[in-house]
């Protein structure tokens, strides 16, 4: 890895307010008295710029700044909070292209995918703006005369958001946009390997909050070692909620610590997703879905396809056509419009890829396409197809790299069971033209995942529906539907407007 900074090669960095050396802590003012973090381009392995991370004492400074901003924001009417979030969306629109270029540069996904990620944040801002006028409780019939029984929703206060490298912009949007209209203040810890993206988003949000007359500590940011800053956050009882996106292993630790203090979590953890191609499927649709779901973002989405479970009548055809399609995937610089697959994010992911393939071969798997590291600068590997039995132990472990397993089935019930037999439960898809199969797939004996699709791939999701999964995926739900309720506390309120004091259930105490 070259230590020489390549900042000057990318003029869009200046458009985003980034410099060769950047402070990595924001709590209304910018700071960073800790270690230097090198921001590396996975396409070249070269350092783009540096960030000064947080010193241990700066964590508490962030918390105190958020507490100071909390009441003003909580007492602001929700529609006004929604207007501020709308302005954040507009500010993101104005910086869409440079921000997408930065995601391609620092994370490694191709530009068109990166642009879609920023658009997702923008769309969630629009969604949250509308939601700010529709947060409502219920008026419940009271059994006592002269009484009203109703629900009221209030902010939690402090919310911690810990995001992963693979969606370094959008996942903040899923959480912060909803949390902000609910009246919370938040501390964001982005992945240290995507620090520049964290800073660029923070600067956009800061500018909007300041122009709108609010304390920008409402959206504070801290960049630092995950084992230090992350541990401080999960141990801190002042947080009403910790939202974490990352590995199941780390999520299990967070769940244990936060819930032991009776805190709340939103956990978005491992995937290990399957597409089932039924006998009556549209093969052309299924092929396109398999290719993008497996190769998109270099297999580094939590919703990436890991298992293609194909009916025996289509297996040979789909296998042959997939192998041919994989040979045409253009691999290279994600900022090049001709590229279909960029690098994987870090050198450690290359190690995971190579060691995973060795274990696959030991367990009887057969590599039929790809399977090699590409010898060039940066972190490049070949997208890989493997034939393997559904019950091989490795199949139950999610490899966060571009490897997809092909499996052949005869009976659709068996395919449903194979979908469900892994520990994870995020995304799943069935390709079929049968209404009976569709509704069975959606029902109690169908997919056990949080996302259950028909005739669409596993990767990607619309913001209007709650995003998340079951089992070792963590049970969290973000973005749409009634996910907003996780960011608020519910009060059941009884109001007596009579001159009497009747007790519930007809109890007499005289």
Contact indicator for 241, 43 with CB cutoff of 8 Å: no
- Phi/psi for 452 (5° steps) reads -125, 105
- Residue 117 pLDDT > 60: yes
- For the segment 472-490, the average pLDDT, to the nearest whole number, is 97
Task: Identify the pLDDT of residue 479.
Answer: 95
Task: Identify the pLDDT of residue 2.
Answer: 53
Residue-wise pLDDT tens digits, 259-273: 999 999 999 999 999
Q: Which residues contact 53 (CB under 8 A, 6 or more apart)?
A: 24, 25, 32, 34, 35, 36, 37, 192, 223, 224, 225
Band (pLDDT 50/70/90 cuts) for residue 227 is confident
- For the segment 234-244, the average pLDDT, to the nearest whole number, is 98
Give the helix/strand (H/E) hosting 428.
strand 427-431
Task: Identify the pLDDT of residue 1.
Answer: 54
Contact indicator for 123, 480 with CB cutoff of 8 Å: no
Please, how many CA atoms are within 13 Å of residue 491, restricted to the half-sphere of its CB? 8
Band (pLDDT 50/70/90 cuts) for residue 155 is very high
Closest CA to 263 of 66, 486, 492: 486
Residue-wise pLDDT tens digits, 276-302: 999 999 999 999 999 999 999 999 999
Contact indicator for 148, 140 with CB cutoff of 8 Å: no
The token pair that represents 282 in the structure block:
């549209």
Task: Identify the pLDDT of residue 504.
Answer: 85
CA end-to-end span of the chain: 82
- Based on the residue annotation, tell me whether 268 is a catalytic residue of this protein: yes
Task: Identify the pLDDT of residue 287.
Answer: 98
Residue-wise pLDDT tens digits, 5-32: 999 999 999 999 999 999 999 999 999 9
Task: Identify the pLDDT of residue 496.
Answer: 97
> CA 486 to CA 469: how far, in whole Å?
15
Contact indicator for 167, 124 with CB cutoff of 8 Å: no
Task: Identify the pLDDT of residue 507.
Answer: 86
> CA 42 to CA 298: how far, in whole Å?
12
Tell if the pTM clears 0.75, that is, is over it.
yes
What 8-state DSSP symbol labels residue 331? B
> CA 46 to CA 439: how far, in whole Å?
50
Contact indicator for 215, 72 with CB cutoff of 8 Å: yes
Please, how many CA atoms are within 13 Å of residue 154, restricted to the half-sphere of its CB? 10
- Residue 304 pLDDT > 80: yes
> CA 253 to CA 261: how far, in whole Å?
13
Exposed / middle / buried, residue 338 (Cβ in 10 Å: 0-12, 13-18, 19+)? exposed
Contact indicator for 459, 293 with CB cutoff of 8 Å: yes
Residue-wise pLDDT tens digits, 64-99: 999 999 999 999 999 999 999 999 999 999 999 999
Band (pLDDT 50/70/90 cuts) for residue 465 is very high
Q: How far is CA 143 from the centre of its chain?
A: 44
> CA 314 to CA 421: how far, in whole Å?
23
Average pLDDT, the chain: 97
> CA 122 to CA 180: how far, in whole Å?
14
Contact indicator for 188, 221 with CB cutoff of 8 Å: yes
Closest CA to 219 of 267, 177, 165: 177
Q: Which residues contact 358 (CB under 8 A, 6 or more apart)?
A: none
Band (pLDDT 50/70/90 cuts) for residue 460 is confident
Positive or negative, the CA dihedral 272, 302, 181, 222 is: positive
Residue-wise pLDDT tens digits, 325-361: 999 999 999 999 999 999 999 999 999 999 999 999 9
- Residue 3 pLDDT > 70: no
Specify the 3-state DSSP secondary structure of 489: strand
> CA 183 to CA 156: how far, in whole Å?
8
Indicate which residue of 58, 268, 382, 398 is catalytic. Answer: 268
- Residue 226 pLDDT > 70: no
- For the segment 302-309, the average pLDDT, to the nearest whole number, is 98
């Amino acid at each position: 890895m070259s230590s020489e900074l390549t900042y000057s090669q990318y003029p869009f960095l200046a458009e985003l307010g980034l410099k060769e050396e950047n402070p990595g802590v924001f709590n209304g003012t910018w700071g960073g008295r800790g270690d230097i973090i090198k921001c590396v381009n996975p396409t070249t392995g070269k350092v783009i710029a540096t960030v000064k991370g947080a010193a241990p004492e700066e964590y508490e400074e962030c918390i105190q700044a958020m507490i100071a901003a909390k009441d003003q924001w909580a007492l602001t009417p929700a529609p006004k909070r929604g207007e501020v979030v709308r302005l954040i969306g507009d500010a993101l629109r104005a910086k869409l292209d440079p921000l997408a270029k930065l995601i391609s540069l620092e994370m490694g996904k191709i530009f068109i995918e990166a642009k879609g990620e920023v658009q997702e944040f923008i769309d969630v801002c629009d969604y949250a703006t509308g939601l700010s006028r529709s947060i409502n409780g219920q008026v419940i019939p009271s059994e006592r005369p002269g009484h009203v029984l109703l629900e009221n929703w209030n902010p939690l206060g402090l919310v911690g958001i810990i995001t992963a490298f693979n969606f370094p912009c959008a996942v903040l949007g899923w959480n912060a946009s909803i949390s902000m209209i609910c009246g919370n203040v938040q501390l964001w810890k982005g992945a240290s390997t995507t620090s520049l993206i964290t800073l660029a988003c923070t600067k956009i949000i800061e500018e909007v909050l300041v122009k709108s007359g609010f304390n920008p500590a409402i959206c504070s940011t801290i960049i630092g070692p995950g084992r230090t800053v992350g541990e401080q956050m999960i141990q801190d009882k002042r947080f009403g909620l910790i939202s974490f996106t990352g590995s199941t292993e780390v999520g299990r630790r967070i769940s244990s610590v936060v819930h032991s203090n009776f805190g709340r979590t939103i956990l978005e953890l491992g995937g290990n997703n399957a597409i089932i191609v039924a006998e009556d499927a549209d093969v052309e649709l299924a092929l396109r879905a398999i290719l993008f779901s497996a190769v998109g973002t270099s297999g580094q989405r939590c919703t990436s396809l890991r298992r293609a479970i194909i009916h025996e009548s289509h297996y040979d055809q789909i296998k042959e056509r997939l192998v041919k399609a994989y040979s045409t995937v253009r691999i290279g610089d994600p900022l090049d419009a001709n590229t279909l697959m960029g690098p994987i994010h870090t050198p450690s992911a290359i190690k995971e890829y190579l060691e995973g393939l060795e274990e696959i071969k030991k367990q009887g798997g057969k590599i039929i396409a790809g399977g090699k590291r590409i010898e060039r600068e940066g972190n490049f590997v070949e997208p890989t197809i493997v034939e393997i039995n559904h019950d091989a132990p490795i199949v139950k472990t999610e490899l966060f790299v571009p490897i997809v397993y092909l499996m052949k089935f005869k009976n659709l019930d068996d395919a449903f069971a194979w979908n469900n037999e892994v520990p994870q439960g995020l995304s799943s898809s069935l390709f079929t033209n049968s209404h009976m199969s569709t509704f069975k797939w959606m029902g109690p004996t169908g997919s056990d995942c949080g996302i259950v699709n028909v005739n669409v791939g596993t990767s990607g999701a619309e913001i209007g529906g709650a995003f998340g999964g079951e089992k070792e995926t963590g049970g969290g739900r973000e973005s749409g539907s009634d996910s907003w309720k996780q960011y608020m506390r519910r009060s059941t309120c009884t109001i007596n407007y009579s001159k009497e004091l009747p007790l519930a259930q007809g109890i007499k105490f005289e």
